[in-house]
Amino acid sequence: MPHFKLTLEYIGTAYHGWQVQPGLPTIQGLLHDRLAMALRQPVAARGAARTDAGVHAVGQVASIESPVEVDPGRLARTLNATLPADIGVVGIERVSSEFHARHSARGRIYRYQIVQGEYISPFLGEFAAHVRAPLDVEAMDQAAGLLVGEMDFSSFCAAGGVSDSPVKVIRRSRVSVRQGNQRLIEYTVEASSFLQHMVRTIAGTLIEVGRGRLKPERIPEIIASRDRPLAGPTAPAMGLFLVQVLYPDLAQDRIG
């Protein structure tokens, strides 16, 4: 049977995350429904990342095993015609039977957005956390850099979060600013994989650093403690985006 890789983007505001949950709207649940309509049989879509409720994606990946032969371009058009406007199929390509969206991935890139200032545009309200107080971006970036490496990130995991191991490898962690009508602060992080709420907890901790409530030098101490209460609060879901899933053939094709 043919295997396909689907690249998806979605606004997560109206959904209870990626993974199917009985009686609740989820991205995976809607995708299963529309795939069954298009292919006339139930089809399971395996996602590369289980984004939480309210989290967005511009580069989610799913893999499927189709029960019938189908042209990938035609399947993409059919899905886009039937999915709601806040979910889109960027592209579909045929892959080998060994490809698995999650297990074949070698890394993921997330971005967290923060608008700093008295006012937040209604066009950004669903896509960024709003912090009115001034933020020291240089201190935030210094703190972010101290997260790079292979470490036990238990201090940044949701209480009761499930994972094979709390040890993760962060390859890139930085804070930058985009100036426009609003001051948009972006935290970009790349890792082999992530713990539950890990990026949002790091973002919340970096905001505390930016406010001056936490010194960047405290980051190694927080990591070493493996104690969640020592890290900052979990930042709101609306500021988080899954930007890209990295595979061996895409290792050099990384975003900014």
Active site residues: 52
Amino acid at 102: R
Q: At a CB cut-off of 8 Å and minimum separation 6, what does 177 contact? A: 137, 183, 184, 185, 186
Long-range contacts of 134-138 (CB under 8 A, 24+ apart): 135/185, 135/207, 135/210, 135/211, 136/209, 136/210, 136/211, 136/212, 137/175, 137/176, 137/177, 137/185, 137/210
Contacts 24+ apart (CB under 8 A), 169-176: 171/107, 172/109, 172/148, 173/144, 173/145, 173/147, 173/148, 173/202, 174/141, 174/144, 174/145, 175/137, 175/140, 175/141, 175/144, 175/206, 176/137, 176/141
Q: How far is the C-alpha of 144 from the C-alpha of 129, rounded, in Å?
A: 18
Helix (H, G, I), strand (E, B) or coil at 17: coil
